[in-house]
Amino acid sequence: MDSLRADGWGDVAFLLIAVMSAVFFWYINGFYLNWLVFVAGIGAGVIVHRTFYFADNHPVAGFPVTMVLVLALVAAVHVNH
């Protein structure tokens, strides 16, 4: 997202509508918020963002780090409950 003065207002409007739609869907279906999962999700998002940011700025050193992250995410998806 670039600066809001230039062309960021479309992004802000889209994200706001998306969040409002998600909250509405969440409320209508009677879901509850598990704060531990919420905080862990934010933490995972920050880790993914920083990993890919590091890989963009340091391509050679960032490749193994990114591969480890991708393999960890694939393993997490395939874990049986």
* pLDDT above 60: residue 81: no
Q: Phi and psi at residue 21, in whole multiples of 5°?
A: -65, -40
Do both 77 and 42 map to the same domain? Answer: yes
Q: Compute the distance between CA of residue 25 and CA of residue 19 in angstroms, rounded to an integer.
A: 10
Q: What is the pLDDT of residue 1?
A: 46
Do both 73 and 37 map to the same domain? Answer: yes
Do both 37 and 14 map to the same domain? Answer: no
> What's the token pair of residue 71?
């393999």
What's the average model confidence in pLDDT over 1-29?
77
Do both 16 and 47 map to the same domain? Answer: no
Number of domains in the chain: 2
What's the average model confidence in pLDDT over 3-11?
65
Its pTM stands at 0.49
What's the average model confidence in pLDDT over 21-46?
83
Do both 42 and 80 map to the same domain? Answer: yes
> What's the token pair of residue 77?
């998806």
Q: What is the pLDDT of residue 17?
A: 92
Q: Name the residue range of residue 18's domain.
A: 1-31
* pLDDT above 50: residue 35: yes
Do both 26 and 37 map to the same domain? Answer: no
**All residues at 6 or more sequence positions from 56 whose CB lies less than 8 Å from its CB, including other chains:** 62
Do both 40 and 21 map to the same domain? Answer: no
